Amino acid sequence: MYHRNQVITVRSSGAATAFDAGVAVIAAVFIAMCLGLYPPFAHSTDDARYIDVGIVVFNPGIPADASTHSKLGIFPEIRKAEAKYMPVVLRQTLIDTGDWGVVRVLPEALDSSELLVTGTIIHSDGQWLELRIVAKDAAGAIWLDRAYNGTTTSASYPVKIDSDPYIGVYQRIASDLLDVRRQMSAKQLADLREIALMRYAAGLAPEVFASYLASTPEGAYSLVRLPAEDDPMLARVVRIRNQEYLFIDTVDEQYARLAEAMAPTYNLWRQYSAEQAQYRDDYEARVASRSSQGRRGSFVALEQTYNAYKWSKIHEQDLDELALGFNNEVAPTVMEVSGTVFKLSGGLDSQYTEWRGILQRIFALETGLPPAA
């Protein structure tokens, strides 16, 4: 049985190496699979209309020229944390609609996802959010490729618990995705799921499964044929994919926990930065009209501007510390196999890459095929 709440650390000693630990993981997982401890999963839902969605950690959109960051209002550590926080909000928005299968946040793109969503942060502060969203299915069809933006008002703050000042942006993305899905027939959606599986299989064993798909130079995929339902090679592919999904679900939980911890301070920072920007705009408007009206900015207005600036800087420092923790992802991911728990350390993206490599080597050991390049 798979557990996430037990932690047993595997450490090398003496002449032992990371390779030895990797071999131990491979052997343990291989034995567990051979014993049938990891049975294939059914599809996420019996409803043929539903498909699974993978949301890749966003591109933070940080310019390479560091001298522009201050002028653009970009704090790199905070922006990198936002790139992981925002996919969690979108994930929850999709889940809340009840219109999708399993929705996961992915450390990196998995091209064999039934529907893969990627995003780039164009602008983000307490007043204005702009995202570039691209959604592409396993068949290579583009569902979305457009910018989404939203602004806040004084009523947006303070942010309610479990909400977001830009929730309307995420809801529009969810609505547009659903509009595309509703235009597809049940057969098209069923074919999409099969194409996703065959693309994953071809990635593991191209010499066996590549012929089941046809592709174009533009990146479109279609089914040529399907293996038999009782094909033992396909059964092994499904088991490997389910192991990858187990890891992704663990990563997904870590992102959700980190986002939950970050949300209160992050929302306060956005609130005070919005107030600071509003006071600054008001002040500039007063200066512009001073000559014609003969009025000067009041002490109260100046004090409000200073207080907003002071509190935004305090929360900026707190948020920067949280963002560093979010970006360093110090929490290890643990996987239990046959009664032993193995720890994958490092960032979640590097853990994911390591685990995928382990699973590919397991598949090669089990089938006798060379590992996929």
Q: Considering the domain boundaries, does residue 144 fall inside one?
A: yes
Contact 189, 101 (CB under 8 A): no
Count of structural domains, the chain: 1
Contact 49, 186 (CB under 8 A): yes
d(CA 204, CA 212): 13
H or E segment to which residue 237 belongs: helix 232-293
Q: Which residues contact 251 (CB under 8 A, 6 or more apart)?
A: 105, 106, 107, 333, 348, 351, 352
Q: Considering the domain boundaries, does residue 237 fall inside one?
A: yes
Q: Considering the domain boundaries, does residue 284 fall inside one?
A: no
**Cα torsion 349, 366, 43, 195: sign:** positive
Residue 8 has a CB neighbour count (10 Å cut-off) of 11
Q: Considering the domain boundaries, does residue 111 fall inside one?
A: yes
Q: Residue 13: exposed, middle, or buried by beta-carbon count in 10 A (0-12, 13-18, 19+)?
A: exposed
Instruction: Copy the structure tokens of residue 265.
Output: 């301070």
User: Strands 53-56 and 115-124: what pairing?
Assistant: parallel
Q: Which residues contact 285 (CB under 8 A, 6 or more apart)?
A: none
d(CA 312, CA 276): 8
Q: Which residues pair with 335 in a beta bridge?
A: 342
Q: Considering the domain boundaries, does residue 341 fall inside one?
A: no
Closest by Cα among 59, 23, 218, 49 to 140: 218
Q: Which domain holds residue 113?
A: 38-256
Tens digits of pLDDT across the chain (373 residues): 333 333 333 333 333 343 344 444 444 444 444 444 443 334 444 577 899 999 999 999 999 999 998 888 888 888 998 999 999 999 999 999 999 999 999 989 999 999 999 999 999 999 999 999 999 999 999 999 999 999 999 899 999 988 999 999 999 999 999 999 999 999 999 999 999 999 999 998 998 999 999 999 999 999 999 999 899 999 999 988 998 898 889 888 888 988 898 888 888 888 888 877 776 666 566 666 654 444 445 555 555 555 555 555 555 566 666 566 555 554 556 655 444 455 666 666 777 677 677 677 767 777 777 666 5
Q: Considering the domain boundaries, does residue 168 fall inside one?
A: yes
Q: Considering the domain boundaries, does residue 186 fall inside one?
A: yes
Q: Which residues contact 158 (CB under 8 A, 6 or more apart)?
A: 267, 268, 271
Q: Kindly report whether the global pTM for this prediction surpasses the value 0.85.
A: no
Q: Considering the domain boundaries, does residue 16 fall inside one?
A: no
Can you say how many angstroms the Cα of residue 366 is from the centroid of all Cα atoms in its chain? Answer: 31
d(CA 168, CA 93): 10
